[in-house]
Each structure stands twice: as structure tokens, then as C-alpha cells.
Amino acid sequence: MTESLKRWQIIYYTVFSLVVTGFTGFVPAAMAADQIIELAATPANPDVGDAFAVVVNYDVSDGNNTLTGVGGQVFYDTSKVQYDGYSNWFATGQFGAVLNITDSSNLDGDAKTDTYIQITFFDISGNWPNTALPVLLIELNFTMLELGTSINSDIYSTAAGYDPVSNNVTFEAPTTTTTTTNTTSTSTTTSTTTTAAPATTITIPTDTPTSTTTTLGPVTTTPTSTAAPTTTTTMLDNLPPDTPEDDGGSSSGGGSSGCFISSADNRSSAFVTVMIFILSMTGVGCAVTIVRRIR
């Protein structure tokens, strides 16, 4: 289709809009309602390379389904989405063809879109769409080339006394989050500290007798053998005066009584001899004990 033919079509549809308005007559502003075109993507969040559809639904705010028709346009960015044709075009009131037109005049006010698809419905008797609302007008098929775009809609022609209301669908670009991790190399020195056990103080009650022994050095103890004194006991009982004694040739005279004399060492032998003699003379029996100390 040449650009010249497209221009004639636009002029034709503009005249058509004026004619529709003339047939419907004047409607007071207080009674005005809305003709609505609403876009919806399915699936709602296509990924790059995915095929998806944009359905175009029609509704009227006052529920009037017997009007003269409506003309709508759907704008898109050819660098972001690829138009693959249409399906499910509503049969009643089709007027002309489904047009795919370059948006050289930026009709939707969005500089990013460069092309639009135009659809028109008309019923000269004013009985359109004559079905329950809302109604599916057409389904436009696309392939997603790149995320971060929107598909817009607009109503270029309404029935007399109605205002146009339309919406857009947006496909957000993925959000890229960059996480930077700063790694710091730390040299760790391990110090080992040896701590002596705390001193223990033992307190001895002052009312308890304490015996303290201080040892200045090693002590060597040498056992000492001390021989017990040897005691020699000689009983003299009525010895005749001429009986010699064991120690130093001492002798004692007779007598019927005995006596006991003890001497601690040899130096007393003379004294013992004298005492034996004296006691013998008195008739007393004596026992002589001579103790010799062994040194």
C-alpha cells in the first residue's frame, strides 16, 4: 500500500467520523458518557523472544450497546516488538481493513512508538455492537524483541456525545542489580600468654598453736648406738670373810644378814670393798652391784 493511499484512507475515516457525529446529533454535556478501549497483554509478562497477544476490548460507561460505532488505534515501537498480524476480529460493523500505519505525526504523544494499527467499526443505523458489553474487538499478535517498552491505545472517533477513554500496557525492562563485595586481607597475629596460677594464701588461725620448723639445708642423721649400762649384781649373803670378790679382789667377812650395794663405775671399787667389809662385820648380808659404763 502506497503512502498516498494511506493518506486518502485517513481522510476518508475523518469524514466518516464527522458523518457519524452528524447522525447521532447533539448530546448535552451533562449526559455525556465514555466509550472505552482497553488493552490487555496475554501473557502479561512475556520475555524476550516470546510471542504474546494484545487483546483490544470495548466497553461503554453507560452500558449503551446501540451506538454508531468507534475508531481505535494501537501504537507500538518496531524496535522493541514485532507485529505478527491479528486474529479474532469482531465481525459486526467492520469498516474498512485493519491498517498498519507509520506514525509520522506522533499521534499518541509518545516519541518512542513509531507505528500504529488502526481499526474502525460503523453502523449507520446506530445499532452497534448490539451485543453484551464488554466485547473483544480484535487480538493483535506480537513477538517481544526487547523489554522496556509500552503499547499504547487511542480512540480517534467516537459516537456523538461520548468521550474517548483508553489505556496502555507496559513491559518493564529487567532490573539489574550490581553487588560489589570489598574483600580486605587481614594479617592476624596470634599471641599466646602463659599466666601463672594465682598465689594461694593459707591463713592459720592465731588461736591455734603453730609449730614452725625451718630447714636450712639437707640434714643427715647418723644413728647413734648407745649401749644400755651393764649391771652386774653380786649377792653376798653370809659370805665368809676370806671369799674373794670379782672386782679388784674385794672380799667380805661372814655374817648371817645380807646387804645390797650398787656402784656406778670401777672407780668406786675401793669404796665398795670397804662398805662390804664394814657391813659384813655387822652381820648384814650385802648385794654388790657394779655398773660399768661402756663409752
Quick: pLDDT tens for 148-170.
Answer: 999 999 999 999 999 999 999 99
Is 184 among the domain residues? no
Give the predicted TM-score (pTM) of the model. 0.54
How many distinct structural domains can be found in the chain? 2
Domain limits at 261?
230-292
Is 100 among the domain residues? yes
Angle at 78 between CA 72 and CA 82, to 5 degrees: 90
Residue that finishes a domain, picked among 144, 171, 198: 171
Check: CB of residue 140 under 8 Å from CB of residue 117.
yes
Is 251 among the domain residues? yes
28 and 154, same domain (yes or no): yes
Side-chain-facing half-sphere of 125: CA atoms under 13 Å: 6
Is 235 among the domain residues? yes
10 and 118, same domain (yes or no): yes
Q: Give the pLDDT confidence of 78-110 residue by residue, as tens digits.
A: 999 999 999 999 999 999 999 999 999 999 999
Is 138 among the domain residues? yes
147 and 260, same domain (yes or no): no
What is the predicted pLDDT for the residue at 240?
A: 45
Side-chain-facing half-sphere of 114: CA atoms under 13 Å: 8
pLDDT averaged over every residue in the chain: 73
- For residues 142-162, one letter each, b for 16 or more C-beta atoms within 10 angstroms of the residue's C-beta and e for the rest, the string is bebeeeebbbbbbbbbbbbbb
What is the predicted pLDDT for the residue at 274?
A: 62
Residue that finishes a domain, picked among 156, 171, 186: 171
Look up the CATH number of the domain holding residue 37: 2.60.40.680
Check whether 112 has a pLDDT greater than 90: yes
Check whether 18 has a pLDDT greater than 80: no
Check whether 173 has a pLDDT greater than 70: yes
Check: CB of residue 239 under 8 Å from CB of residue 264.
no
